[in-house]
Amino acid sequence: MKIAVIDTFVNPDAPELAGANLQVRGTTCVDPDSGEPHQIVSDDPDQAAHGTNVVSMLVGNGVAGDGGLGARGIAPEAEVWFYGVGDLDQAGSDQCKLQDPTVEEGGIDLAHDITWSGRKVENNTSGLGDSTALAARAAIRDGADVVSVSVLAGGPTDWDQVIFESLIAEVPIFVGVLNPDDLFALQGGPYMHNGAFAINAIEEDGSLLTDRETGMTSGASGTIAVAAPGGRLLGVGDDEGWGPRLISGTSYATPLAAGAAALGMQKYPDASPFQVTQAMLRTTGSGGVHEIEWGLDELGAGYLNVMEMLKADPSQFPDENPQWVTSLDDPRCEQDGKPGYIADNGQVMCGWSASPFVEGYEKYRAAYVDGEPIAPFGELEATPYTTQPLDEEPAQVAESAGVSPLMVALAVVGVLVLLGGIAVAIVLVVVSRKRRRNREQTTTY
């Protein structure tokens, strides 16, 4: 199984990663002036402890540099692909020119192909976008089975595009929700996106990850899939040095959930990736197969139970992403006891998530998969994916709108506007490493 990790830096020489099948695939940022790629491999713990800890949750060998107990991964035989973005403080357009890290000669450059505006598909000749979302797109294109994201960056439409492509390729995107000390910060990333597998962290006693100074807990997302261990785990280092450390954060719960999905895919190769995630959400808690019940307690469908998940044959479950809401009648869309609806301005009002939804997915798929030309400004344009003649009017998925109650509602109001909710829409370029410096035993990564 190939697990893609999207993070900042990594130290492949950490003793706990000796023998691991770790490939550093490249960076999505180059210096605009020199053209030099941003550095993503580092032995500086201040830079690389976070990403190296994330990788160790997947493929750590359990042996520290002194021969003692070290970080052990959940899927030690997995192949890990590391896509680095470097220092997020240098991810702005004036310091980071986007590059496709693994584009093949003659292939389509994902940094300059197409983009999603929130309403329509457009050509991206200017190379605009977000480095973390671009890394996730590259991982999907390259053939990753699972993507694990433990950094928060990028705007809503950047990640809408990633979700669209993950649905098309059937590649689950696992992403950590906010840590306790991040709750009042403006963050990017897909942790509130429809279709993403948002992961919360729990302490050893099953309670939500808690900041011992403030009492605040992790979460702040209505789309949580499951909760996984993320409190006082054994890591490979922290900001101040290498060596066994107790670490905490949703950043580390996320690869544990992604690794569990990879184990399920490996054990049941005839099941689809989304059937495996169905099994994950249907075997939470004390065990046994059950219907998915999303709670209001920041635990999503419940506690991740890897042993029970691996006992359940996923082929018995629906072949669909359990995190992807396609109808306003879905109970998850309810707000204040009322079903989801379309506002007068055309915005989808769904308690589950602000975006993306079926209408946007169908538009994107028409250009990306079906090869239809686009007409973002009235005139037909070819994209790098266009296979149909420009003299044929693109269908733009109008004929398929009836497949979903949400699509019908959008057609009725006649306004195809998908904007993020207030808390998300204002996040355009805000970035954050999901950690804070110099905290007790790095308990708030």
Q: Are residues 341 and 260 in the same domain?
A: no
CB atoms within 10 A of CB 132: 30
17, part of any domain = yes
Q: 306 and 159, same structural domain?
A: yes
CA distances, 142 to each of 121, 361, 407 (Å): 22, 21, 31
In a domain, 286, yes or no: yes
List phi, psi (to 5°) of 30: -125, 155
The catalytic residues are 7, 50, 251
422 within some domain: no
Cβ 134 vs Cβ 142: under 8 Å: no
Q: Are 235 and 50 in contact (CB under 8 A)?
A: no
Residues 6+ apart with CB under 8 A from 427: 155, 156, 186, 187, 188, 420
Q: Quick check: 51 and 13 in contact, CB under 8 A?
A: no
List pLDDT tens digits, range 35-69. 999 999 999 999 999 999 999 999 999 999 999 99
Same domain, 359 and 215: no
227 and 352 co-located in one domain: no
Kindly state whether residues 288 and 350 are assigned to the same domain. no
Query: Do 345 and 267 belong together in one domain?
Result: no
CA angle 268, 256, 261 (to 5 degrees): 20
For residues 244 and 138, membership in a common domain is answered with: yes
Diameter of the chain by CA atoms? 68
Domain assignment present for 110 = yes
Q: What's the pLDDT band for 283 if we cut at 50, 70, 90?
A: very high
Kindly report, residue by residue over 239-274, the tens digit of the pLDDT.
Answer: 999 999 999 999 999 999 999 999 999 999 999 999
Question: Which residue range is the domain that position 346 belongs to?
Answer: 331-373
How many domains does the structure of the chain reveal?
2
Neighbours of 130 (CB within 10 A): 27
Same domain, 222 and 336: no
In a domain, 249, yes or no: yes
Residue written as tokens 């509130």? Answer: 192
Does 436 fall in a domain? Answer: no
Rounded to whole angstroms, how far apart are CA atoms 193 and 423?
12
Quick one: pLDDT band at residue 175, thresholds 50, 70, 90? very high
Residue 110 and residue 220 share a domain: yes
Q: Is residue 293 part of a domain?
A: yes
What is the pTM (predicted TM-score) of this model? 0.89
- CA dist 196 and 163 (Å) reads 7
Residues 19 and 131 in one domain: yes
Determine, yes or no, domain membership for 298: yes
Q: What are phi and psi of 169, to 5 degrees?
A: -90, -10
Whether 32 and 106 map to the same domain: the answer is yes
